[in-house]
Amino acid sequence: MSNDILIENGLLIPMTQGRPVIENSSVLISNGIIQDAGRAEIFSRYDVKTCIDAKGKIIMPGLVNCHTHLPMSMFRGFADDLPLDVWLNEHIFPAEAKQVNPETVEKWAYHSCTEMLLSGTTTCCDGYFYEENVVKAVAASGIRAVAGQGIIDFPAPGVPDPLQNINIAVDFVKRTKDRYANIYPSIFCHSAYTCSARTLIKAKSAASDLGVMFQIHAAETENEKNMVKEAGKSSIIEYLELTGVLDENTLLVHGVWIDDDDIELIKKAGAKVAHCPESNMKLASGIAPVTSLIERKVAVGLGTDGCASNNDHDLFGEMDTAAKLHKIALMDPCAMDAGTVLEMATIKGAEAIGLGSVTGSIEKGKKADIILVDTDKPHMNPMYNPFSALVYSAKASDVSLVMVGGRILVQNGKLL
């Protein structure tokens, strides 16, 4: 039997049920698919073309960034230290009107993809305008992505006539679906305060008809409810439920200002949540009740948001922040343990964006989206608990190898 790649001699953290940690392990990959994973001795019978020595390294699934605006790396560091409404309406939207075009979108989306790959992210979920150009950049980089065409009820980049916003999104999905092996189109309504109930209903209906995920910023700020006149006395989540937006193919981004009743609605609908702690902190939006969502079995993934409100795509830093933020918010050092946070950045993140059967863990039949993390660094030693080491000690620069679908994109910490 001849197979493509064998990663051997590493500490395997497959992120499967029970959170096993397996020393002296190997992963067998053929045609981009994981064929087997476990202790090294079981692989002696295979004839392998390529061997990768993972001694001194952790073998783990690539990280999943559940919320990005890839082209917005062009605004990294622009208009920092402002409230969300001022930042968005007085700075970001006007800047986008001047600077966003197909060429800048493609250039800076690619820039973001390289940043993510170098820091161990193998899958992301994006939402922006000119998303067809984002897709070109994503395809060129080799990263796996859910790509959502943005919808908003006023003139936007690439959509000068808001009456065409849904048609443009539908056309994008039809042109993109099944065209790329690693790219999954989506429809992204910016928010309930920038999209009318009619737009939300039509966009969600289109996403359902096309069989793709629907994304929306939801309950990000305390004032958001007051910005949605159509909501009346309903919460944002209740309003979205009433419009028929909530179901198992809906990703709610942020979910900061939600209560127990909202969480019950999210759970009942099977909707998912993307948690973006650093963006929420930087814009002083608040702290999402993530522990309550997880306790109620809602799939919650971790996201960086765009570089204009973070200002990076580093999920290792995001994991560290998420774990510590919820401990201090709840005054409980046991809250958001390292294993839970690592799940949010891998398998739970994959589930949140509808790719749980494709990526997020190392097990037979899944795509070989795998990273190696170097443990031979002073800040990684001693390592009593590898989950804790990855969440609290590891840095993006510790990622030495990245592969997506079995294709090596980063080797020895360098982009190929």
3-state secondary structure the chain: CEEEEEEEEEEECCCCCCCCCEEEEEEEEECCEEEEEEEHHHHCCCEEEEEEECCCEEEEECEEEEEECHHHHHHCCCCCCCCHHHHHHHHHHHHHHHHCCHHHHHHHHHHHHHHHHHCCEEEEEEEECCHHHHHHHHHHHCCEEEEEEEECCCCECCECCHHHHHHHHHHHHHHHCCCCCCEEEEEEEEECCCCCHHHHHHHHHHHHHHCCEEEEEECCCCCHHHHCHHHCCCCHHHHHHHCCCCCCCEEEEECCCCCHHHHHHHHHHCCEEEECHHHHHHCCCCCCCHHHHHHCCCCEEECCCCHHHCCCCCHHHHHHHHHHHHHHHHCCCCCCCHHHHHHHCCHHHHHHCCCCCCCCCCCCCCECCEEEEECCCHHHCCCCCHHHHHHHHCCHHHEEEEEECCEEEEECCEEC
Q: How far is CA 141 from CA 7, 109, 145, 175, in A?
A: 23, 10, 11, 20
Averaged over successive runs of 10 residues, the pLDDT of the chain (416 residues) comes to 80 98 95 92 74 96 98 96 89 93 98 98 98 98 98 96 98 97 97 98 98 98 94 96 98 98 98 98 96 98 96 98 98 98 98 98 98 98 98 98 98 95
Beta bridge mates, 151: 189
**Predicted local confidence at residue 44, as pLDDT:** 67
Q: What are phi and psi of 244, to 5 degrees?
A: 85, 15
pTM over 0.95, yes/no: yes
Structural tokens at position 394:
């590891």
Which residues are CB-neighbours of 367 under 8 A, at least 6 positions away? 32, 33, 34, 144, 358, 359, 404, 405, 406
**Predicted local confidence at residue 1, as pLDDT:** 44
**Predicted local confidence at residue 45, as pLDDT:** 66
CA distance 284 to 304: 15
**Predicted local confidence at residue 85, as pLDDT:** 85
**Domains, in order of start, for the chain:** 2-62+360-415 (2.30.40.10), 63-352 (3.20.20.140)
Q: Count how many Cα atoms sit within 13 Å of the Cα of residue 322 in the half-sphere of its side chain.
A: 32
